[in-house]
Homo-oligomer: A and B are copies of this chain.
């Protein structure tokens, strides 16, 4: 982070025609973007949205009412522009790329063995990292039938507590299904409890979770600020956070998911989501919607007159 640029942005905020601090988090966001972009006047001219898709062996445990074919069907829907993420990227000016990760080759069922071996994990990390282009900000999202179970397992494995805390209704599940999901999560986490955080990513995660981690690391190295989506995205990077919380310093969380585990994850990471609208769709939709808040922050930061320019009396 460029502390000088951040400080110059903060100083500019103090000269704009408004009471100091009255734009709340919009002022913090301008400073945050300035710090990561290394400019006192940050921009969002090019915003990349990356949605990673994967399939999961744990679906064999019957944790999701949708068939795994829906992952590929939704990828096709992304590609023809029919999904929610397409509409929100178009609205808020983000360039969407969908990366389908070996959908015809689901990971292994994590209740019997590691979901991915080391080579598969590294490949998924790599594909995530290489998908990141130079941009002013990066939006991350995911799609994968069964991956709210994967996310719950990662959150439970990294943060502990009761498995039920991390398990929500996911995509269309009811209360009975939820109890079953918690039992599957607890079993998987117990099986792989001895692993390191990144070992847990391999053992419990899917390819899209590893790809998200790879993209976050690549963005960190390129100093690109990141908007994570909701529960599944945040759980995906929990292993990075456990390895070193500073790896997520450039990440914002787009929205507070309706999935019950998200609040605990955000609290542990000390990050407050930008939006709280009861969404639980994934795909990056909460992040793409939150991009509008970032654009609002910069519209004010860049476009407002100073007290001196406007001839307004300062207090």
Contacts and interface: CB of A to CB of B under 8 A. Distances in A.
Nearest to A274: B277
Given A80-B305, A304-B82, A277 B26 contact: yes
Interface string A2-28: 000000000000001111111111100
A194 interface: no
Contacts of A299: 87-88, 90-91
Q: How large is the interface on A (under 10, 10 to 19, 20 to 34, 35 or more residues)?
A: 35 or more
A176 interface: no
A242 interface: no
A226 to B, nearest CB: 19
B296 A91 contact: yes
A280 interface: yes
A276 interface: yes
A309 B81 CA distance: 12
A193 interface: no
Interface in A106-148: none
Given A258-B24, A300-B88, A304-B84, A74 B312 contact: yes
A54 to B, nearest CB: 17
Contacts of A279: 22-26
A315 interface: yes
Interface of A: 16-26, 65-67, 69-70, 73-74, 76-77, 80, 82-84, 86-88, 90-92, 171-172, 258, 274-281, 285, 289, 292-293, 295-296, 299-300, 302-305, 309-313, 315
